[in-house]
Amino acid sequence: MEKLQLSLKLLFLVVSLLCHDGKASISSIGGLKMEELLQEKPSQNFTSTKFGSDTSFSLSSAYLCSQSGRKENDKIQRLPGQPDGVDFNQYSGYVTVDPNSGRALFYYFVESPRNSSSNPLVLWLNGGPGCSSLGAGALTELGPFRVEKGGKTLYRNQYAWNAEANIIFLESPAGVGFSYTNTTSDYDFTGDERTAVDTYTFLVNWLERFPEYKTRDFFIAGESYAGHYVPQLAQVILHANTNTNHTKINLKGIAVGNGLIDYESYSRGWLDYYWTHALISDEIYIGHKSNCNFSSPAPPSDICRQYQDQVINATKDIYPYDIFAPLCNSTSSSTLISVFDPCSLDYAFDYLNNPAVQIALHVDAATFPYPWELCNLTMNGSWKDRRLPILPIITELMESGIPVWIYSGDTDGAVPVTSSRYAINKLGISVKTPWYPWYLQNEVGGYVVEYENLMFVTIRGSGHFVPSYQPARALALFSSFINQKLLPSK
């Protein structure tokens, strides 16, 4: 735990407020020499071996630039196919996070129709790693619009989260969606640590562009692999708030949905979920359990791999993100738990690849000559440090008084509810409000258990993408989260 903190500390301490070249001296930090800090790294190769030792990497975050006039340029006049009567402001564009290599992150920002000047600011992050918060989060989950079949027109999402907060959707890291770098070798460092620092750099610059949000209550929320991004970013913010002269970000809480927060719990919970939901045989279950070591960072043995393949084979026609849902391609007429159109992501893909949409969003065609993709699978495959421990960070956040919310759609087979429960159990924290059902419109929306500084909420009948599958329940959850209130009992 201390080791990761140290490496993150290293990262933010080198941030200095330079606009153009970022060449600051970092040979000595807080009395510790760089070499000593580097020796504190974990002995396992979970992290990039080059991390911290590469000057351009560390200094890439040494950047804060005047953003005057850029907010106006980012204002979206009108999105192609948007419905009439849009009553809130939309912005999108790039924020440079490293001018030397030409690395810039793309965001889409929606204000609230009402009370936007007092509502909190929320950063939403999708996971992958390598997936887009614009295509998934904004256009199929919690954003103000969804894309109609055909990919040309938009309709209002009745349960959009910007009813209660001003929301930034960030495509992160560079290489995801419209975010890019002009220096290909940047991608050699793509991983959790780079992502956390770039996102922090994005935020402090974005706040220069939108200074009215500098002191606003700020929340971070995300799902899936953002179970890494959200706590890691929160930790960087906490440390930066006390150790730099940057804008102090008014962090009030974090939320992680169906998130990957502990590898061992994830693997164990995933297998148990498949077995208890009748997707695999006893033989595969027992064989997998007794031949795979979930706590080992080593690559799986051949026999373990064979059992993994059997699980995949047995469930290949099940949509993992919502095990009771039809596939996008299927003509199934079975009764659905949710009415979410399983082809929605395809519509978002078509929409975002329309050149007129890209122009309206201020996408720079010169820097973005290739098609927009929902997930960058190359990036997912070459991620540097996906096994970094997250639970110690969650403990640190809780001890620092940052409320942590962990929620879970209970029909997700990708990062199932069992995985979240095993992970929380590992924290060894005491219950403040015992497990109870929460209600929305006289129905059980799910269950809640409150610990000291940690809330665990389930969303009944929801797959991985909670705001897609159970939009009303998701909005109730979000509202409770930003108001830091328990969900309603009967």
Interface ranges with ligand NAG (CB under 6 A): 43-45, 49, 96, 99, 102, 104, 114-115, 128, 131, 175, 182, 187, 190, 244-245, 293, 295-296, 310, 313, 329, 366-367, 370, 373, 375-380, 382
Query: Closest CB to ligand NAG among 115 and 433?
Result: 115
- Distance CA(94)–CA(87), nearest Å, equals 24
Half-sphere exposure of 233 (CA within 13 A, CB side): 34
DSSP state of 430: -
Least distance to ligand NAG from the beta carbon of 431, Å? 29
Q: How far is the CB of 451 from ligand NAG (least distance, A)?
A: 27
Nearest to 190 by CA among 266, 260, 255, 103: 103
Which residues are CB-contacts of 258 (< 8 A; sequence separation ≥ 6)? 223, 224, 407, 408, 409, 412, 414, 415, 416, 417, 420, 464, 466
Closer of 185 and 442 to ligand NAG (Cβ): 185
User: Of 92, 101, 224, 419, which residue is the catalytic one?
Assistant: 224
Is 246 labeled as catalytic in the residue annotation? no
Cβ at position 98, least distance to ligand NAG in Å: 8
Nearest to ligand NAG of 153, 217 (CB atom): 217
Of the pair 43, 77, the CB lying nearest ligand NAG is at 43
Nearer to ligand NAG, 44 or 442 (CB): 44
228, 239, 246, 464: the catalytic one is 464
Question: Is-catalytic flag, 412?
Answer: yes
Torsion angle in degrees (nearest 10) through CA of 183, 188, 192, 195: 0
Q: How far is the CB of 367 from ligand NAG (least distance, A)?
A: 5
| Residue in the structure block whose two tokens are 């809330």 | 455
Q: Burial of 354 by CB count in 10 Å (0-12 exposed, 13-18 middle, 19+ buried)? A: middle
What are the helix (H) ranges across 406-489? Answer: 417-427, 466-469, 471-483
Q: How far is the CB of 330 from ligand NAG (least distance, A)?
A: 7
- What count of Cα atoms within 13 Å lies in the side-chain half-sphere of residue 7? 26
| Residues tagged active-site | 224, 412, 464
